[in-house]
Structure 1
Amino acid sequence: MVSDDGNKNKPRNLFHRRVLKSYHKRQQIQQRMNTSTTTSSGEDGAAAAAYREDGDSVTEKRFRVRENEPIDKSSSNNSIITTTVESSSSSNNTNTTTVVEVLTESKELKYGFISMIGRRRVMEDAIKVGVRVRVRVMDNNEFMFFGVYDGHGGSRVSLACRERLHYIIEEELLELNRMDWEKVMMTSFSRMDEEVRGVGYEEDMGRTVGSSAMVVMVGKEVVVVANCGDCRTMLCNRGVTVPLSHDHKADRPDEKKRVEAAGGKILNWKGSRVQGVLATSRSIGDHCLKPFLIPEPEVTVYKRNEWDEFLVIGTNGLWDVVSNEVACEVVRKCLDGQIQRRFPERDSAADAAALLTELAIAKGSKDNISVIVVELDKISDIKV
């Protein structure tokens, strides 16, 4: 049989076609590498292919590290660095992004945090930490802002809260003539609820997207907590837990009474739910369930004292399986002075947040988990 030289390079089957395509692609890359005298090392460069002496290609992963701007642009002492590591692989056309929060010890206020997807398929939690907010009517005292947002139906509203709510609160504080924390938080949460009705709200099914919101502002003398939904903040004082918020669950007696007075119903479907849909009775967004769901937060103003040790702020992915008392005990052990002296390079607050997350997963949490731990034990040394 005489082979046709003109047809010997034609693909015989799907596998052969892929081999030829890969071969021609390697040849093109090799030619560009031979003609190029310099190799670009730009931050946004694509993954390159390395070659062995035998001509086989090996996928090389090129990493890039980005350090975002400090969260508080007005402060030079901000201790939070957000590092994003991205790995690109040309063999399977997939991109993997891992976000690592690196926290160094702050001379002003020590805190650590973690936010992870857990056993969910999508990430709907969002957090905001370390934002300085100045209060004009309190002699320009500064507060440190912490926010935890637990989205449902999507991440649109929780991400919007992360980007905007602290700015709205600061704007409301600037307009005050006398201090009224409840008024500030009520107005701010209501404005945020209106803002999520943006362009394309109806088209992308935005009416069914919402988020619980927890805002904590730490000052020299007080801690202000505003809660709307089922996130939670707990303070430890001499080993005793002090709840600074109460979950807005659909089966809470006063919330059930309010929902029914507005014409809604609490139905039991895998637990008590407003209209059989949502387990929380307050949230930002979720306009399909108005007026049964409201964006009004419950506000707590706690006066700090010398025995306060730390705050734990988290989403219900933590609190559904870990009690206040257990969380208090775990964090106290992580912040123990002996451990800090043995491992001075470790960030105890960040370790405590990570340990609480691991504990929640071990105890069967099936939700996204976000935790912030804020140390309060050295009140005389903290400057916020």
Structure 2
Amino acid sequence: MRGKNFQAWDKESAEQGKQTETAKSTGKKSALWKGDQELDAEEKLVSQIRGFAEFLFSMGWLCCFSSSQLGGGHSSSSSGKGKNLQGMIRFGFSLVKGKANHPMEDYHVAKFVQIQGHELGLFAIYDGHLGSSVPAYLQKHLFANILKEEEFWVDPCRAISKAYEKTDQAILSHGSDLGRGGSTAVTAILINGIRLWVANVGDSRAVLSSGGQVRQMTTDHEPNTERGSIENRGGFVSNMPGDVPRVNGQLAVSRAFGDKSLKSHLRSDPDIHNTNVDNSTEILVLASDGLWKVMTNQEAVDIARRFKDPQKAAKQLTAEAVKRDSKDDISCVVVRFRG
């Protein structure tokens, strides 16, 4: 289905209302499986902020209240949730800092916006390495660059591909400010609740559950699977005992934004897939490899299904990854369709 032009869009689109909240972890231990009926202090705070956001929106002071505006990958732990105006599609997110001795490098986006009479759900995970500058830049600019492309409204695939390329070029041109690091990316754009476009570079992944079947919507870009491309570009893939394959002995993904010193051997063009969203569509999970290293696609969906509240589902996924001794930063967004 990749590369097909977007056809008919539903012309009915309601005014957007979306809210999220980012809160620091209290550090207290809790039961692994939380019940849906529990309303903790964090959720009460979410409710208060939501009410304030709705007031601002009603006064015309706020066009959207999004997780990306409230914060990115700065806190050691954060979570939040929101929904579209109709309340039929809800999302939650959770980020937990890994065990490495460096600041959080995972960033996310989760929000609904109104553009040209259409409702767009924008969801993303950006997993940085060698610093947080590049994922922070992606959080601020990648979706904006996609939606700036005039072709987006007639050919979303081409628009997404061009925006990924232009964004990577911009990151490389700002190397003195953004540093030598890089980032993976997985982005999902939900158009009017009926069409889903997913793109990725690197090993951040999106998984969709529909009609009881689990489908991976992304491609893991790993050095071993793209060895030919790397070698054709003058690079090599190392396979040291006890370590994962790496590009030139350094990077564990074969496609990424940034990474100026390795860029001649890397690609930043995304794999892009799209699908219809209908009454059989259940759950979409986007996550960094901190989750996927310790959990299968099926396991992630099975855990998410246990919770009607997608924020609790996202928090449970990150908690389970920690329990399974994931050492990397862990971030995920869970989108629940139609209840």
Task: Say if 2:276 is the partner of 1:303.
Answer: yes
The CA deviation string for residues 206-250 of structure 1, in whole angstroms up to 9 with x for no partner, is 2x3000011101122211001011100001113321111111111
Tell me which of 226, 233, 238 is aligned to 1:267: 238
For 1:127 and 1:371, the matched residues in 2 are separated by 8
For 1:159 and 1:205, the matched residues in 2 are separated by 9
Correspondence for 1:142: 119
What residue ranges of structure 1 are gaps of 5+ in the alignment? 1-64, 86-95, 336-347, 379-384
For 1:99 and 1:205, the matched residues in 2 are separated by 24
Give the AA of the match of 2:81.
L
Residues 79 and 315, structure 2, Cα contact 8 Å, conserved in 1: no
**Relative to structure 1, is the Cα distance of residues 236 and 126 closer, same or farther in structure 2, using a 3 angstrom cutoff?**
same
Residues 318 and 369, structure 1, Cα contact 8 Å, conserved in 2: yes
For 1:104 and 1:131, the matched residues in 2 are separated by 9
Q: How does 1:37-116 map to 2 (within 5 A)?
A: 100-103=78-81, 107-116=87-96
Residues 128 and 182, structure 2, Cα contact 8 Å, conserved in 1: yes
Residues 212 and 284, structure 1, Cα contact 8 Å, conserved in 2: yes
For 2:303 and 2:81, the matched residues in 1 are separated by 20
For 2:332 and 2:210, the matched residues in 1 are separated by 19
Correspondence for 2:164: 189
Superposition TM-score, scaled by structure 1 size: 0.66
Task: Say if 2:202 is the partner of 1:226.
Answer: no
Residues 198 and 274, structure 2, Cα contact 8 Å, conserved in 1: yes
For 2:69 and 2:268, the matched residues in 1 are separated by 33
For 1:82 and 1:210, the matched residues in 2 are separated by 19
The range that moved more, 97-106 or 70-79, is 70-79
Q: Secondary structure at the match of 2:253?
A: coil
**Relative to structure 1, is the Cα distance of residues 310 and 79 closer, same or farther in structure 2, using a 3 angstrom cutoff?**
farther
Residues 80 and 102, structure 1, Cα contact 8 Å, conserved in 2: no
Deviation at 1:157, TM superposition (A): 0.2
**Relative to structure 1, is the Cα distance of residues 259 and 309 closer, same or farther in structure 2, using a 3 angstrom cutoff?**
same
Task: Say if 2:183 is the partner of 1:211.
Answer: yes
Q: Secondary structure at the match of 2:318?
A: helix
Tell me which of 307, 311, 316 is aligned to 1:350: 311
Q: Secondary structure at the match of 1:296?
A: coil
Q: How many pairs does the alignment contain?
A: 281
Q: Secondary structure at the match of 1:154?
A: coil
Correspondence for 1:125: 106
**Relative to structure 1, is the Cα distance of residues 187 and 321 closer, same or farther in structure 2, using a 3 angstrom cutoff?**
same
Give the AA of the match of 1:116.
V
The structure whose RCO (Cα within 8 Å, separation 6+) is larger is 2
Give the AA of the match of 2:253.
T
The CA deviation string for residues 133-162 of structure 1, in whole angstroms up to 9 with x for no partner, is 63x6xxx43321111100001101000000
Deviation at 1:75, TM superposition (A): 9.5
Tell me which of 233, 238, 247 is aligned to 2:220: 247
For 1:84 and 1:170, the matched residues in 2 are separated by 21
Residues 82 and 102, structure 1, Cα contact 8 Å, conserved in 2: no
**Relative to structure 1, is the Cα distance of residues 133 and 321 closer, same or farther in structure 2, using a 3 angstrom cutoff?**
farther
Residues 124 and 152, structure 1, Cα contact 8 Å, conserved in 2: yes
For 1:131 and 1:104, the matched residues in 2 are separated by 9
Tell me which of 371, 374, 377 is aligned to 2:332: 371
Superposition TM-score, scaled by structure 2 size: 0.74
For 1:150 and 1:97, the matched residues in 2 are separated by 14
For 1:112 and 1:233, the matched residues in 2 are separated by 15
**Relative to structure 1, is the Cα distance of residues 260 and 296 closer, same or farther in structure 2, using a 3 angstrom cutoff?**
same
The CA deviation string for residues 52-109 of structure 1, in whole angstroms up to 9 with x for no partner, is xxxxxxxxxxxxx996996997897967679989xxxxxxxxxx97775443665253
Residues 83 and 99, structure 1, Cα contact 8 Å, conserved in 2: no
**Relative to structure 1, is the Cα distance of residues 97 and 129 closer, same or farther in structure 2, using a 3 angstrom cutoff?**
closer
Correspondence for 1:164: 141
Deviation at 1:356, TM superposition (A): 0.5
The range that moved more, 150-159 or 213-222, is 213-222
For 2:282 and 2:61, the matched residues in 1 are separated by 25
Deviation at 1:278, TM superposition (A): 0.4
Instruction: Say what the alpha-carbon RMSD is for the aligned residues.
Output: 3.2
Residues 281 and 293, structure 1, Cα contact 8 Å, conserved in 2: yes
State percent identity of aligned pairs: 27
The range that moved more, 102-111 or 240-249, is 102-111
For 1:241 and 1:221, the matched residues in 2 are separated by 18
For 1:327 and 1:367, the matched residues in 2 are separated by 17
**Relative to structure 1, is the Cα distance of residues 224 and 130 closer, same or farther in structure 2, using a 3 angstrom cutoff?**
same
Give the AA of the match of 2:236.
K
Deviation at 1:276, TM superposition (A): 0.9
Give the AA of the match of 1:239.
G
Give the AA of the match of 2:148.
E
